[in-house]
Amino acid sequence: MRRRRHAAVIIISLCLVLGLSGLGLAEEEGSQYPPVAEIIIEGYNRVDMSVIEKAITKTKVGEPVSEDKVRSDLQAIANTGYFFDVRANFAESPKGLAVVFTVVENPVVTRVDIVNDVLPINELRRYMTTRPGRVLNLEELREDVQILVQKSYEDYGIPVRVHDVVLNEAGEVRIIINETRIADVIIKGNNKTKDHVITRELKIKPGDVLDINALNQGLRRVLMLGYFDEVARDLQDTDDPDKVNLVVTVTERKTGVFTGGAGYSSAEGFIGYIDVADQNFLGRGQQVNFRWEFGQKRNYYNVGFFEPYLNENGLFMGFNVYNRLSRDRIKRDGDTEYKYDYHRTGGDITIGQPITEYTKASLRLKIENYELDYEDDSDERGNLRTLRLQTVTNTTDHPFFPTTGFRNTLSAELGGYFLGGDNSFTKYQADLSKYIQVGSNKQTLAFRVHTGFISGDAPPQELFAIGGSETVRGYKYGHFTGEKALTFNAEYRFPITDIIHGVVFVDSGNAWDSSERMRLSDLHTGYGIGVRLDTPIGVLRLDYGIGEEGGQAYFSLGQAF
């Protein structure tokens, strides 16, 4: 401990002289000590005398004087924290034997400095009792130091150690705080994923101040990549008391898919598909996909690529190229049905940027040529050019099975006009989802509202299609189409085993033409049950929905919302 007059360092303790002087109290065996006739207090100035009087509880007027009791009272006075020196002596007074307590006050605090690198000094000061203009109280200062350590962690997520506390004769208090820093970042368990894919989401590097709140956000970002089943962290001590090693351990899940299948149905004849995709291509965090669906009445292919980090700020880019041909589709116009073949060829490119911790904004350009060939030999051809602005806000706690948070998507898409193309229209959409954990064992209530409307001349493929596994279960895909749409979804999700989850759902929705008024009474409702399987190739979804015309089964990948 560094010693100065009126000073204490690191462990705040006061070197008090608890002295007894004056009369010798030793008497012959069997004799009694003289009674205390008077208690006198000297030396106080700014400290109220009542503070000292309340501390003197053992020595009492009229009782025999006792050195042990006097020493106990000296210690009690010292424990008030206001005094640098506390002494007692015995003196004769007109009343008899007097016990004189003499105190030397600590200096008046003139300045309080909190020295650190990142913590807000003014915010920390408001937690302290030690303030300029008051007599320094070392007990209060000791408690203040403990509170600073506590609040630094509770309010700001930063573990700290008090390196030094310096007091000087002028009453200046200087508290030196060392924030805990990261000595090294160690990644474990990533057999495929490159270290930098994880560390760029953590946004923590050696030498940084350890911020538990920022670390937890970083760990969430790593989990939300969808590459890992578990993400855990450990803080390991080092030889430096102000540094720790951050160890992040991940459990990788399978992100690559190579599947295929074939079958036969009376409606479409022979059908098949080949699907090749990887959400973490070569462990670099890139996404690639190729899907080919073929059959007597369909021929689809789609090739896509996504790069999540074009620069250190998280600028991302992706593109898709596709060719989609479906034959013998049905178009209804009142009671009349028309058969047609629908062919679409095109692609899109998206570029975006995170704008907050939970929100990303993107801009997508889509170019598409389409052709509708009707069975009466008439046809309809056109080209489509659209530009879409979209924001996605996601505060959920898991990429596949969220239990808390929300996920909101807002978009505005412009077609035609200055972009060219044969159709000029504007399309607005809002998709709002909320997840609430209920009970224990990660049971979840999930809700979604989706709405949208189109103004202008939109081609058929841009109309809202309501019905099917993604909108209203219990109805065929696209059973209701129009320029306006509104859907509500509610699910109760519960785990059955670690990889099997059950779902009970209710869906309601409809689509309207632009000239029609949207009414809640027009909504069509479906309800049912489902199962989710967490497999190496992703979440498999099997639902059975019952609508107004009966039931229907659906098999899809991923959650409905």
**Tens of pLDDT, residues 413-424:** 999 888 988 999
User: What b/e sequence results for 118-139 when a residue is b if at least 16 CB atoms lie within 10 Å of its CB, and e otherwise?
Assistant: ebeeeebeeebebeeeebbbbe
**For residue 525, which amino acid is it?**
T
Task: State the DSSP string of 85-118.
Answer: EEEEEEEEETTEEEEEEEEEEPPBP-EEEEE-SS
**For residue 245, which amino acid is it?**
N
Same topology for domains 17-105 and 108-179, yes or no? yes
Would you give the end-to-end CA distance of the chain in angstroms? 62
pLDDT in tens, 251-302: 999 998 888 877 766 666 788 889 899 999 999 999 999 999 888 888 999 9
Going by their DSSP bridges, the two strands 96-105 and 36-42 should be labelled as parallel
Instruction: Please enumerate, as own/partner, the contacts of 217-221 that have beta carbons within 8 Å and a separation of 24 or more.
Output: 217/357, 219/248, 220/397
C-alpha triplet 452, 339, 261: angle, nearest 5°: 80
pLDDT on residue 3: 33
Task: State the DSSP string of 131-145.
Answer: -TTSB--HHHHHHHH
Q: H or E segment at 545?
A: strand 538-547
CB-based contact 115:53 (threshold 8 Å): no
CATH-assigned architecture of domain 395-560: Beta Barrel (2.40)
CB-based contact 58:72 (threshold 8 Å): yes
CB-based contact 46:76 (threshold 8 Å): no
CATH superfamily entry for domain 17-105? membrane protein fhac (3.10.20.310)
pLDDT on residue 326: 84
C-alpha triplet 187, 188, 194: angle, nearest 5°: 60
Token code pair at residue 537: 């190739």
pLDDT top residue among 81 and 1: 81
Of all residues in the chain, the percent with pLDDT exceeding 90 is: 77
pLDDT on residue 204: 95
What residue spans define the domains of the chain? 17-105, 108-179, 181-252, 395-560
pLDDT in tens, 210-241: 999 999 999 999 999 999 999 999 999 999 99
Task: State the DSSP string of 214-264.
Answer: HHHHHHHHHHHTSSEEEEEEEEEE-SSTTEEEEEEEEEE---EEEEEEEEE
What is the topology classification, in CATH, of domain 108-179?
Ubiquitin-like (UB roll) (3.10.20)
CB-based contact 394:383 (threshold 8 Å): no
Q: H or E segment at 52?
A: helix 49-55
Token code pair at residue 8: 């204490």
Q: DSSP secondary-structure letter at 157?
A: -
SS3 134: coil
Q: Which of 454, 464, 561 is nearest to 507 (CA)?
A: 561
What's the Rg (C-alpha) of the chain?
38
Structure confidence at residue 5 as a pLDDT band (50, 70, 90): very low
pLDDT in tens, 312-347: 999 999 999 999 998 766 655 555 666 778 899 999
Q: How far apart are alpha carbons 33 and 27 in whole angstroms?
A: 7
Token code pair at residue 41: 């207090």
Token code pair at residue 395: 């505060």
Average pLDDT over the chain reads 90
pLDDT in tens, 86-100: 999 999 888 889 999
pLDDT on residue 340: 75
pLDDT on residue 11: 35
SS3 180: coil
Q: How far apart are alpha carbons 383 and 400 in whole angstroms?
A: 36
pLDDT in tens, 10-44: 333 334 445 555 444 544 444 468 899 999 999 99
pLDDT on residue 557: 85
> Is residue 403 left, alpha or beta, with left meaning phi > 0 and alpha meaning psi from -120 to 50?
alpha
Q: What is the residue whose two structure tokens read 């430096």?
A: 240
pLDDT in tens, 121-169: 999 999 999 999 999 999 999 999 999 999 999 999 999 999 999 999 8
pLDDT in tens, 40-87: 999 999 999 999 999 999 999 999 999 999 999 999 999 999 999 999
pLDDT on residue 413: 98
Q: Which CATH class is domain 181-252?
A: alpha beta
Q: What angle separates helix 195-202 from helix 212-224, to the nearest 10 degrees?
A: 130
Q: DSSP secondary-structure letter at 300?
A: E
**For residue 548, which amino acid is it?**
E
